[in-house]
Structure 1
Amino acid sequence: MPTAKVAVVPCAGRGTRLRPLSDTIPKPVLPLGERPALFHIVEEAIQAEISRVILVVPADPLLQRLAESALADVPVKVDFLTQKRPTGLGTAVSLACRYLASEGEERFLLQLPDVVRKPHALGALKVLQDIATESGHAALSLSSKFVSEASQHGVVEVRESGPLSAIKEVTNFIEKPRGYKSAKSDIFIAGGRYAFATEEILRALPESLLRDATEDCEVDLTFALDAAIAQGALLGVPSEDYADIGSWDGYREASAAHFKSLPKRKGHAGE
């Protein structure tokens, strides 16, 4: 299978978990250390050998202006697509896929901006890239850290496997379930990094489905993940290399870690 050369970052979400801060500063450009979160996300994509990044942004031009400034010195091409209404992650990804199909891009990586790699961590994006290329299947990162907060994340159930097996076969995906409980031991949270084939997403998210989407009835990524699961073609890779900056506690923790990782500088007051 061809290797993905494009990463998609959907940035048109409303950032409700970080209000009121996200009402004035778009979540993807919140500072983490010396750089905005979006810079760290694109940096990870570059290390996964991506040569082009597509940002799906809201109609309000503020985020695009801030993103252009934040990414002015990155060594990859950055394109912008506008999602006119915040009608869900599925809508944003489908919009990007239609653009990718017109450009002849067969595969892509997906990075959710709620999730940022921890300082000095390897991350899972390059691993997902390699697995998807070798197997031809879709793949996603998994985390066990936030299972107790299942209602805020997508729950992933995987096939029981031995402790030495790093790659899991995903058997079920449940989008932000309320009151989720399970006696199974192999339960994870969707980790915010994915590898997909463009055509698979277009089949799973047809335009007829998107036309009915509203802000109160969003289209999420579950349709695409369910389609891959039905074919036995969705693989998961556990990784705890990421921080969830979409919540106050997570953003506070990630900010502290990034500032702590910076080298100490000498200086005087007033300089």
Structure 2
Amino acid sequence: MRKVKYAVLPVAGFGTRMLPLSKSVPKELLPLGNRPAIHYVVEEAIAAGIKHIVLVGHAQKSAIENYFDINAELDNQLRHKGKEALADSLNWLPEDVSISVIRQGTALGLGHAVLAARPIIGAHDFAVLLPDVVLDPFSGDMSADNLAFMIDAFATDGHSQILVETVADEDVHKYGIAQLSEDHSATSDMEDQAEANASFSVAGFVEKPNLADAPSRLAVVGRYVFSHHIFDYLANTTASVGGEIQLTDAIDALISEHGVSVTTMRGDSYDAGDMRSYMQAFIYFAEQQLAQGQ
């Protein structure tokens, strides 16, 4: 069974949608309640069985690396003051989980960021989690279950998995939309999935279509489980829209030779890289934590 143990988190972006908040603080470290957004994403990965996390970063975002490191001086100060529990809570990564950092260099898009992790990932299959997409951690185990389901589905049939959720008609134009294979051309059943994850083969994706041209209402969420073969396609993908190497172009090539499936999401997701959505998410996370006495 091909169990995925590696995950890539692209963190090199400047977060222009979050200015001026992100001018000096990386958007991934902006708080949702009492923890930074990326904290929840890493917790999600660990809960799904990931053991090695690769941060694809930028020279000006070393604060993210520092967040996951041990601050020896702070740790000593807290323990000297008898605040053992607080010190322990800051060093929360399990001992069997490691974090590596690699620089993207020139920012040439999401596909390029994923490819930058190849020297560390090598021939291992891996997950990709976009750190500005945070799945609701207060809905039981559903946030971690999504990724765990994708990893198990990948282990079963060898098809790379992409998480999708049903969006409202008026929001279809904001997302990459899944076009299911002929075996699943009727999408109503899977669009209504709520109680359990489901995996369906996909024929491709349409980027930000008008509603009339959309093949479904199933939008890409920001969680992927890839065969290592995606690296070969990324390496041979030429820059397209915006002069960037698009991950979707490599996915289309992967579909034609190895097959790709979409997994329907359980629970809710929050876009922590958009100001309006971020503010709504902050209030929700803070309310949940206060209610739980955190």
1:130 matched to which residue of 2?
A: 152
Match of 1:141 among 154, 163, 176: 163
CA contact (8 A) 2:164 2:219 kept: yes
Higher helix share: 2
1:94-122 per-residue CA deviation (whole Å, 9 max, x = no partner) reads 11123211xxx521111001210113231
1:170-216 per-residue CA deviation (whole Å, 9 max, x = no partner) reads 122133x3x62336673211110010011x1122111x646x689x5
* Helix, strand or coil at the partner of 2:117: helix
AA matched with 1:112 = L
Shift of 1:228: 2.6
Task: State the distance in 2 between where 1:88 and 1:229 align.
Answer: 20
1:12-36 per-residue CA deviation (whole Å, 9 max, x = no partner) reads 1121221222222211111111111
* Helix, strand or coil at the partner of 1:252: helix
Instruction: Check 1:148–1:265 CA distance in 2 against 1; reply closer, same or farther (3 A cut).
Output: closer
- 2:251 pairs with 1:229: no
AA matched with 2:48 = A
CA contact (8 A) 1:33 1:258 kept: yes
2:82 matched to which residue of 1?
A: none
Match of 2:112 among 83, 91, 97: 91
1:186 matched to which residue of 2?
A: 216
Task: State the distance in 2 between where 1:193 and 1:138 align.
Answer: 11
- 2:87 pairs with 1:68: no
Work out the number of aligned pairs and report it. Answer: 257
Task: State the distance in 1 between where 2:233 and 2:119 align.
Answer: 12
1:157 matched to which residue of 2?
A: 179
Task: State the distance in 1 between where 2:212 and 2:200 align.
Answer: 18
* Helix, strand or coil at the partner of 2:189: coil
Of 153-162 and 186-195, the range deviating more from structure 2? 153-162
Q: TM-score, normalised by structure 2?
A: 0.78
CA contact (8 A) 1:87 1:213 kept: no
- 2:249 pairs with 1:217: no
Residue identity over aligned pairs, in percent, reads 30
2:128 matched to which residue of 1?
A: 110
Shift of 1:130: 0.6
Of 12-21 and 147-156, the range deviating more from structure 2? 147-156
CA contact (8 A) 2:134 2:270 kept: yes
AA matched with 2:151 = Q
2:278 matched to which residue of 1?
A: 251
- 2:121 pairs with 1:77: no
Instruction: Check 1:7–1:73 CA distance in 2 against 1; reply closer, same or farther (3 A cut).
Output: same
Task: State the distance in 1 between where 2:179 and 2:292 align.
Answer: 46
Of 223-232 and 35-44, the range deviating more from structure 2? 223-232
* Helix, strand or coil at the partner of 1:163: helix
CA contact (8 A) 2:179 2:203 kept: yes
Task: State the distance in 2 between where 1:15 and 1:150 align.
Answer: 22
AA matched with 1:262 = Q
Task: State the distance in 2 between where 1:120 and 1:57 align.
Answer: 28
Correspondences of 1:199-210 after superposition (within 5 Å): 200-206=229-235, 209=237
AA matched with 2:101 = F
Shift of 1:65: 4.2
Match of 1:197 among 207, 227, 234: 227
Q: Which runs of 5+ in 1 are unaligned?
A: 267-271
CA contact (8 A) 1:146 1:189 kept: no
2:58 matched to which residue of 1?
A: 58
* Helix, strand or coil at the partner of 2:22: helix
1:24 matched to which residue of 2?
A: 24
Task: State the distance in 2 between where 1:135 and 1:265 align.
Answer: 40
Instruction: Check 1:150–1:255 CA distance in 2 against 1; reply closer, same or farther (3 A cut).
Output: same
* Helix, strand or coil at the partner of 1:60: helix
Q: TM-score, normalised by structure 1?
A: 0.84
1:269 matched to which residue of 2?
A: none
Q: Please, what is the CA RMSD of the aligned residues?
A: 2.6
